[in-house]
Amino acid sequence: METTVGLRSRSFTGGIHPPERKGATEQKPIEDLPLPPYVVIPVQQHIGAPSKPIVEKGAQVRVGDPVSEASGYVSVPAHASISGTVIAVENRPHPLGPDLLSVVIERDGEDRWREDVVLSQNYLDLENREMLDLIRAAGLAGLGGAAFPTHVKLSPPADKPIDTLLLNGAECEPYLTSDHRLMVEEPDRIVLGMQVLVRLTGASTGVIGIEKNKTDAIAVLRKTVNTHGLPFRILSFNVKYPQGAEKQLIRAATGREVPSGGLPMDVGCVVQNVGTSAAVYDAVASRRPLIDRIVTVTGPGINEAKNLRVRIGTPYSFVFEGCGGLHDEIGKIIMGGPMMGVAQHSLDIPVIKGTSGIVVLERTDSRAAPEMPCISCARCVDVCPMRLMPKMLGQFVKHGLFDRAREYNALDCIECGSCAYVCPAHINLVHLIRYGKSEVMRQNQKKS
């Protein structure tokens, strides 16, 4: 396999260059949002089996107390992010779709923490299994947005040896700057967390990949790595979307290509987000569970754009209050970035582990253009980072030809939205392919 040596200018096939629109927040330091009067903690904030509530109405909880337990290997617990009283365990609005079971906690006016959340100077003396147990107990799931349980990613099978640990600091989505600010302001947590990640995966190489437009983050992390005397490399990549996608990051950093249907471990890599690395350090060094995260709140529909440290479970309405409120003509509220984010239907939605940003668009920004017939220009094919044929996949799905969609590797689509972005006919290819993928997976399950 190729290594990272000499591959600084490598990139990936396809991709686009949407307007960055990061200017409103990229130089704004992280602020701590005041504690909300209540939080809504969903038991499903990660890929895999939902956790199971372990508290009942009336229970008293401290910050960091578990309120649910993992229900399987691919599952993680959730924790109280404020101290107070559990006032309900019931279905509440969820950012990813229908109402889901959640633990609702009313704040007691204090901020009482579990006593065992204390920094240990000897955390590197722990065995690997002890570290993994702490990471799982802390409820860690990927903070880049995918929210895959971290302990699972760090436990590849024995026949999949890992030689490269990649930290994703690309943050290529327009508007979002939460990772950027974390890298600039809290680099020690990232680098020391990476030290743990490299050890747990057995990787011989540690790489942090950052787009070239974040020169301050690149400089700070290089200095931090040198200060700690760690052999990690900082690679700067050309600014191109979706540089932060796992397979594209691997291609740019190592020259390796993850096979169709494969995973990063198939080419000896594990990819983690920089925010996840910082949370790993907190979990292992301090036994601190994941109770908050940095969220970029921005867009033309917000009065004051900010990077905020927000307690998990905080309702969007309270977050917006901390940003001076919303404009009158709101068209769309998106969790995540405008390319891969999910439109929201209520201000009662809570911030969850995967909420990297909240983008507020005005009506003029969110109005969809009418769809027209495909002109077979092949622009979607040119920009697809997975080298698929989005036009054909869209046509197959429209006509219910899901077997053909499978043959054309629909399941390899990463739903980045590049195809829909460049389509002159305004065909919503992402929605079509996403639906096609769900049907292909349903048919696969039925056959198995």
Give the chain's mean pLDDT: 94
Kindly indicate the confidence band of residue 181, based on its pLDDT and cuts at 50, 70 and 90.
Answer: very high
SS3 246: helix
**254: CB partners within 8 A, 6+ apart:** 1, 2, 3, 4, 7, 164, 166, 267, 269
pLDDT score of 284 more than 90: yes
How is 345-382 classified by DSSP, letter by letter? --TTPBP-TT--EEEEEEHHHHPPPPP-------HHHH
Residue 357 near residue 337, CB atoms below 8 Å = yes
Question: β-strand 306-311 against 330-335: which pairing, if any?
Answer: unpaired
For 392-403, the pLDDT digits (tens) are 999 999 999 999
pLDDT score of 7 more than 50: no
How is 405-422 classified by DSSP, letter by letter? HHHTTGGG-----HHHHH
Residue with tokens 């209540």: 38
User: What is the residue extent of each domain of the chain?
Assistant: 123-286, 379-447
pLDDT on residue 365: 65
pLDDT score of 189 more than 70: yes
pLDDT on residue 145: 75
Question: Using CA atoms, how far apart are residues 400 and 362, in angstroms rounded to an integer?
Answer: 35
Task: Enter the DSSP assignment of 127.
Answer: -
Residue 285 near residue 123, CB atoms below 8 Å = yes
Decide: pTM greater than 0.85. yes
Question: β-strand 30-32 against 306-311: which pairing, if any?
Answer: parallel
Q: In what order do the strands lie in the sheet with 38-42?
A: 38-42, 97-107, 84-94, 60-61
**346: CB partners within 8 A, 6+ apart:** 93, 316
The distance from CA 62 to its chain's CA centroid, rounded to whole angstroms, is 26
Mean pLDDT calculated for residue range 119-129 = 95
Residue 362 tokens read as 């005005």
Question: Using CA atoms, how far apart are residues 119 and 8, in angstroms rounded to an integer?
Answer: 37
For 320-337, the pLDDT digits (tens) are 999 999 998 898 999 999
Yes or no: is domain 123-286 CATH 3.40.50.11540? yes
pLDDT score of 97 more than 90: no
Q: Cβ atoms within 10 A of the Cβ of 298, count? A: 29
Residue 114 tokens read as 């579990």
pLDDT on residue 445: 87
pLDDT score of 13 more than 80: yes
